[in-house]
Structure 1
Amino acid sequence: MYRYLLRLMFLLPPERAHHLAFLAMRWSTRFGPLRALVAKVLVTDDPILRNTVFGVQFPTPVGLAAGFDKDRDCSDSPRTGRLFRLPEDRAIVNRMGFNNHGAGEAANRLRQRRRTVPIGANIGKTKVVPAEQAAEDYTESARLLGPLADFVVVNVSSPNTPGLRDLQAVESLRPILAAVLDTVTVPVLVKIAPDLSDEDVDAVADLALELGLAGIVATNTTIRRDGLNTPQSRVEEIGAGGLSGAPVAERSLEVLRRLRTRVGDRLTLVSVGGIETPEQAFERILAGASLVQGYTGFIYGGPFWARRINRGIARKLRAHGYRSIADAVGATARV
């Protein structure tokens, strides 16, 4: 049925469809009886999926990636021209950046939330803040959001904020991470791009170990456009932005495997990028991911996407003789 609904949604501009989906999610959890019904239909409650990661209890390994809820005011009409669908590739290009009302507004909303599932605060540099003041900017966001979140992710890998990816260089990244670590008491992770060279991936991993980070989120969207099924003319028409979805899957898995080889089980790895099926999610877990996230997979897979992935992981865990998801994390990396 979702295939037909998806066709209808695809008749709308992408950002308007995103806006409506966000409204539906928000209203479906606002009222007790409706919230209970939604939970019964969509939530997977299986003991084999429960895991404690960097001191936080997760009921399942599957989460919604950063970017879906950017703290936009739902009363505003969404602007268009920053989000594009590539259905031939089951992908999305976005250049929305950090379009929100700021960390202060996000903090106000987090104070009102029911603490039912873990929430991570994904923080990035404000566009107008110069690079030399990045550490102070990240610190202020961490100060506001850290006490209200279960963990903080330092995002230095969005391709839509000019100069942000330059902060992935170790000499720029070190003071930012150190400042955030000094500011919050919750676990801190760093989110990296799939476009980093292997040597730079290693350097970030080494820095994360040195500073005592809780983990690494790999990966963000890509700026590459090679190997797409979408006509080149359409790709050029869309222009700049971060590409997510199926085209990112291979590189995201490569980065995950490289990180696991580099850090072993000393850091928590969160895998993001092109995860659409239970098979892909289970592969990431076996490769070393304690948690997986999706955004584009959720858009193309619909509201039952997370339930389908979770149930599939649970079946595979039992079929392979694992007693818990923790037993499976990094299993193929150990052979």
Structure 2
Amino acid sequence: MYSLARPFLFGLDAERAHGLGLTALETAYRSGLNPLMARPPKPLPTKVLGLSFPNPVGLAAGLDKNGAHIDALLSLGFGFIEIGTVTPKPQAGNPKPRMFRLPEQQAVINRLGFNNDGVDALVRNVAKARRKRGLLGINIGKNKDTPNESAEDDYLYCLERVYPLADYITVNISSPNTAGLRELQEEQSLRRLVGNLREAQEKLAAREGKRVPMLVKIAPDLSDDDIEAAGRVLGELQVDGVIATNTTIARDGVEGCAHANEMGGLSGRPLMTQSTTVLRKMRTRLPESIPMIGVGGILSGADAVTKMAAGASLVQCYSGLVYRGPALVHECVDAIRRRKEAPSRGHVPPTI
């Protein structure tokens, strides 16, 4: 069905198509027509972060910022979905237009800027979801008008509000679309912010009677020294996991293309190599006890396998869905399944 709808959606402004696609998915789900949208994969149980995932393929944050389509998205066969990024107060984000497709490169540039209805609205939406299948991650950030010296307050507020409802929580300090946000990845800022969030996490675990894993999402534009420092800090603070990576400010592979000079984060096919390189490097700098989620540039099952070979325990898609549709989920799960079965048949898993 997606192959039929794609020409129509690609004829619209990218952000309008985004909203229309979610509306159509929600309608199909509520009408019982979601099997026409996607064929869910066979289970591939995966234990990571102390959680049992139905399969290791998830939806990255950004598609459902307010958690308004949780059940419909899970019905596509994801083992988990991540909603957000959510901020304490509602905010409109950056001026439109702010999302652009680069079809020949299978890429997207966005500068949405954490547009969302605020954490209270997200909490209400999550509380209404039935969540029959799959796990839920919630991605938290800071408001645009909150200075970095006060960013900790925004993250702590969101952490406390979403903690009882999340299966895991992601701290987003790597979006390029909120001015100054990536400065929080600098070693001392990172240590202070994540250290205080870790203390709050343990207090919430005692209060709520359950421990919700907390992950940190990093940028693909980190230098080797930045990766070394971040790995050291995150390892010492014993975060539960790391997500590599967010979108990039680089324009490698799209130079000279329409929209290539638009400000914002680039995702999709051109991000694959860069994000996987950061994933692999970070994996060597973290203790083995800290799992990683690989995201960025997955447009095929082979791409998902490449992320796993680079050190990911789970993978996430987003821009790949724009170009491939829900069939990508099934393809990725099946490819990872074949990789896991390969050693027993004498095959050699792919490497990068």
TM bin, normalised by shorter chain, reads: 0.7 to 0.9
* 1:106 equivalenced with 2:122 (yes/no): yes
Aligned match of 2:58: 63
Shift of 1:38: 6.1
Aligned match of 2:27: 27
Where in structure 2 are there 5+ consecutive unaligned residues?
Answer: 70-92, 206-211
What amino acid does structure 1 have at the position aligned with 2:285? R
Aligned match of 1:282: 305
The CA distance in 2 between the partners of 1:252 and 1:177, in whole Å, is: 22
Q: Pick 1 or 2: higher relative contact order, CA cutoff 8 A, min separation 6.
A: 1
Shift of 1:2: 3.8
Contact 1:14 1:85 in 2 (8 A): yes
The CA distance in 1 between the partners of 2:122 and 2:281, in whole Å, is: 34
TM-score by length of 1: 0.88
Aligned match of 2:264: 241
Query: Which of 206, 217, 224 is the aligned partner of 1:198?
Result: 224
Where in structure 1 are there 5+ consecutive unaligned residues?
Answer: none
- How big is each residue's C-alpha offset from its partner over 1:21-74, in whole Å with a ceiling of 9 and x where there is no partner? 11122233335x446x469x532123xx21111111111111111000111889
Percent identity, aligned pairs only?
42
How do residues 195-234 of structure 1 correspond to structure 2 at under 5 angstroms? 195-228=221-254, 230-231=256-257, 234=259
The CA distance in 2 between the partners of 1:294 and 1:3, in whole Å, is: 18
- How big is each residue's C-alpha offset from its partner over 1:93-115, in whole Å with a ceiling of 9 and x where there is no partner? 00001100111111111111123
Shift of 1:80: 4.2
Cα separation, partners in 2 of 1:20 and 1:216, compared to 1, 3 Å? same
Cα separation, partners in 2 of 1:103 and 1:260, compared to 1, 3 Å? same
Query: Which of 157, 161, 170 is the aligned partner of 2:187?
Result: 170
The CA distance in 1 between the partners of 2:345 and 2:17, in whole Å, is: 40
Contact 1:53 1:290 in 2 (8 A): yes
Contact 2:99 2:110 in 1 (8 A): yes
* 1:9 equivalenced with 2:24 (yes/no): no
TM-score by length of 2: 0.83
The CA distance in 1 between the partners of 2:252 and 2:309, in whole Å, is: 28
Shift of 1:164: 0.3
When the two chains are superposed, the root-mean-square deviation of aligned CA atoms in Å is 2.4
Query: Which of 306, 327, 341 is the aligned partner of 1:304?
Result: 327
The CA distance in 2 between the partners of 1:201 and 1:42, in whole Å, is: 38
What amino acid does structure 1 have at the position aligned with 2:160? R
* 1:189 equivalenced with 2:215 (yes/no): yes
Shift of 1:234: 3.7
Contact 1:125 1:134 in 2 (8 A): yes
The CA distance in 2 between the partners of 1:126 and 1:294, in whole Å, is: 25
Aligned match of 1:257: 280
Aligned match of 1:314: 337
Contact 1:158 1:164 in 2 (8 A): yes
* 1:81 equivalenced with 2:81 (yes/no): no
SS of 1:70's partner is: coil
What amino acid does structure 2 have at the position aligned with 1:131? N
The CA distance in 2 between the partners of 1:322 and 1:246, in whole Å, is: 31
- How big is each residue's C-alpha offset from its partner over 1:220-271, in whole Å with a ceiling of 9 and x where there is no partner? 000111331652x6423xx210100111111111111111211252211000
Shift of 1:5: 2.7
Aligned match of 2:42: 45
